[in-house]
Amino acid sequence: MGLGSPHRNHPRSPAEGRGVSIVALSPGADLSGFRTAARRLIATGVSPEHVLWQIGEAPSLFGPTEDGQPAGAPLSLPRTVAALIPMVVPHRDPERYALLYALIWRVTQGERALLEVASDPLVHRLHLMRKAIGRDLHKMHAFLRFRRVGDGEPERFTAWFEPDHHILEAAAPFFVDRFRPLHWTILTPEGSAHWDTQALHFGPPGRREEVPEGDGFEAGWRDYYESTFNPARLNLDAMRAEMPKKYWKNMPETAAIPALIRSAAARTAEMIERPPQMPTKRDPIKAVAAMTDQNPTSLDELNAIIKRSEPLVPGATQAVLGEGPLGATIAFVGEQPGDQEDLQGRPFVGPAGQLFSRAMEEAGLTRSDAYVTNSVKHFKFTQRGKRRIHEKPTAGEVSHYRWWLDRELEFVGPKIVVALGATAVLALAGKAVPITRNRGPFAFGGKPFAGFITVHPSYLLRLPDEAAKAEAYAAFVNDLRQVGRLAA
């Protein structure tokens, strides 16, 4: 018996003896069609061995839909099962739908904890498929390169990618979040994705020839890649494992790899012979000591000091100060300003900030009554052409700004402080604390306020799957509701 029907110990299904139900789904990752079919099949009690899954041009269920056929109510599945399904549907294995339906059938027949049984052959195979999709998404996110098309306005960019699985629709939201102000198109052998700064559209397949061979930005990108290449850490096996050669033809920086490899030995010897030099970076210990000598007596004085201070990592337009009333019951601490925050000089006004405001409203909280700030006061980024790409602050940079944050919260005097994400937790706790295991009420040792840990709203924007994004957003709103209850 195959993996698609590992449940012969269950009672006979009402569908047994009625023949085989044929389910036709669209080519690619037909998540919507599979969900609809699974609901109908479960509603009518059709067991997996009586279902034949076919991938065709026109989706249908049991041939033409009969009048009065039950549509099937939404299935009550464990959260882990619901999250697994959209991560397996894009797999190329033609048995993926049969395997997923076998999982759903067994779960609805009483095996609610089935996914926790790693030794089960069905579970093992599905987890391998999920990992394969995760790797393929990572490679598309990391190795896809846009090239400018034409000289018109607005600027338009196109990229070519050949994924191993049907991941285009799952991967596209990542690029929407990263390149929201740009007009771009991603072409693959199976379909295309188009973003016009307002809406995402999917279309027919493209051809590699539709993407330019290069553009003016690529020379600068190659120079950057060469400048960051460390010959002393060259590991060809690790390089091929992380960046397979099948992707090289679409990546401008890979043209420099052969020459960098040939010169690696000589450059390493030169580095060894070179006399040591003292670092030119600012000393964080001295910087913190200088801050403590400033001794502000009010939040306005502290903000004036922050505004006068140079960013630890140069490039930011301005310091972004906290915002909200003194004596606010709740204070929210994020990571650092983003691109829009740096330009406007206000915290949480970019895409993540807009999502945060919407979640607060749904949770019954008023943003104007809360105090909102960041652990790090200056925007850290990498310049890529006209775009400034957010770069996560290091632990040393968080420590540099920590004294300012502590004084800021002393002046505000909140009853409860919410850490949004790992960087905020590091700043408030003084050490790394896993968010997943500590999400919820948390004691930041020695602080005069209650603490709470949740995710940063930018995490919700980065999730590639819409179902997972909706689930994570609902959990975030629930966290904010709990904060409101604790504050009351």
Q: Does residue 8 lie within any of the structural domains?
A: no
Average pLDDT, the chain: 84
Residues 198 and 341 in one domain: no
Percentages of the chain per state (helix, strand, coil), in multiples of 5 = 45, 15, 40
At residue 225, the pLDDT reads 60
Measure the CA–CA gap between 473 and 359, rounded to whole angstroms: 8
User: What radius of gyration do the chain's Cα atoms show?
Assistant: 27
At residue 309, the pLDDT reads 84
Residues 229 and 261 in one domain: yes
Residues 381 and 291 in one domain: yes
Residues 409 and 461 in one domain: yes
3-state secondary structure at position 381:
strand
Q: Does residue 40 lie within any of the structural domains?
A: yes
> pLDDT band at 91, cuts 50/70/90?
very high
Q: Does residue 159 lie within any of the structural domains?
A: yes
200 near 193, Cβ under 8 Å? Answer: yes
Residues 353 and 466 in one domain: yes
Over 60: is that where the pLDDT of 2 sits? no
At residue 284, the pLDDT reads 56
User: Which of 64-73, 103-112, 284-293 is predicted least confidently?
Assistant: 64-73
Instruction: For residues 448-460, give the mean pLDDT.
Output: 93
- The label of the residue with tokens 């894009």 reads 90
Q: Does residue 3 lie within any of the structural domains?
A: no
Question: Domain holding 333: CATH number?
Answer: 3.40.470.10
More confidently predicted of 246 and 426: 426
Over 50: is that where the pLDDT of 390 sits? yes
- Sequence-ordered list of residues with C-beta below 8 angstroms from that of 219, at least 6 positions apart, any chain: none
Over 80: is that where the pLDDT of 181 sits? yes
User: Which of 11-20, 57-66, 398-407, 474-483 is predicted least confidently?
Assistant: 57-66
Q: Does residue 468 lie within any of the structural domains?
A: yes
At residue 143, the pLDDT reads 86
More confidently predicted of 374 and 246: 374
Residues 337 and 459 in one domain: yes
Residues 233 and 337 in one domain: no
pLDDT digits (tens, 9 = 90+) for 235-275: 777 666 666 767 666 666 666 677 777 777 777 777 777 77
More confidently predicted of 244 and 54: 54
Residues 153 and 125 in one domain: no
- Sequence-ordered list of residues with C-beta below 8 angstroms from that of 183, at least 6 positions apart, any chain: 154, 155, 156, 157, 195, 196, 197
List the structure tokens of 219: 């020379």
pLDDT digits (tens, 9 = 90+) for 321-369: 999 999 999 999 999 999 899 999 999 999 999 999 999 999 999 999 9
Number of domains in the chain: 4
Over 80: is that where the pLDDT of 14 sits? no
Q: Does residue 5 lie within any of the structural domains?
A: no
Q: Which of 226, 244, 273 is the last residue of a domain?
A: 273
At residue 253, the pLDDT reads 64
Q: Does residue 2 lie within any of the structural domains?
A: no
Handedness of CA 415, 421, 424, 426 (dihedral sign): positive
Q: Which of 187, 210, 233 is the last residue of a domain?
A: 210
At residue 15, the pLDDT reads 41
pLDDT digits (tens, 9 = 90+) for 17-31: 457 899 999 999 999
Strands 156-160 and 147-148, by their bridges, are antiparallel
> pLDDT band at 440, cuts 50/70/90?
very high
- Sequence-ordered list of residues with C-beta below 8 angstroms from that of 11, at least 6 positions apart, any chain: none
Q: Does residue 267 lie within any of the structural domains?
A: yes
Residues 338 and 479 in one domain: yes
- The label of the residue with tokens 């310049």 reads 383
Instruction: Please provide the distance, in angstroms rounded to a whole number, between the alpha carbons at the two ends of the chain.
Output: 58
List the structure tokens of 160: 């070519």
Residues 122 and 65 in one domain: yes
At residue 256, the pLDDT reads 66
Measure the CA–CA gap between 115 and 412, rounded to whole angstroms: 46
Over 70: is that where the pLDDT of 67 sits? no
Residues spanned by the domain of 85: 21-136
Over 80: is that where the pLDDT of 133 sits? yes
- Report DSSP state, residue 310: P
> pLDDT band at 178, cuts 50/70/90?
confident
pLDDT digits (tens, 9 = 90+) for 275-297: 766 555 555 555 555 555 567 88
At residue 392, the pLDDT reads 87
At residue 241, the pLDDT reads 67
Q: Which of 163, 179, 210 is the last residue of a domain?
A: 210
Residues 350 and 224 in one domain: no
Instruction: For residues 76-95, give the mean pLDDT.
Output: 95
Measure the CA–CA gap between 321 and 302, rounded to whole angstroms: 10
- Sequence-ordered list of residues with C-beta below 8 angstroms from that of 46, at least 6 positions apart, any chain: 13, 15, 21
> pLDDT band at 422, cuts 50/70/90?
very high
User: Which of 163-167, 295-299, 384-388 is predicted least confidently?
Assistant: 384-388
Residues 346 and 479 in one domain: yes
> pLDDT band at 142, cuts 50/70/90?
confident
Over 50: is that where the pLDDT of 378 sits? yes
More confidently predicted of 11 and 320: 320
At residue 218, the pLDDT reads 60
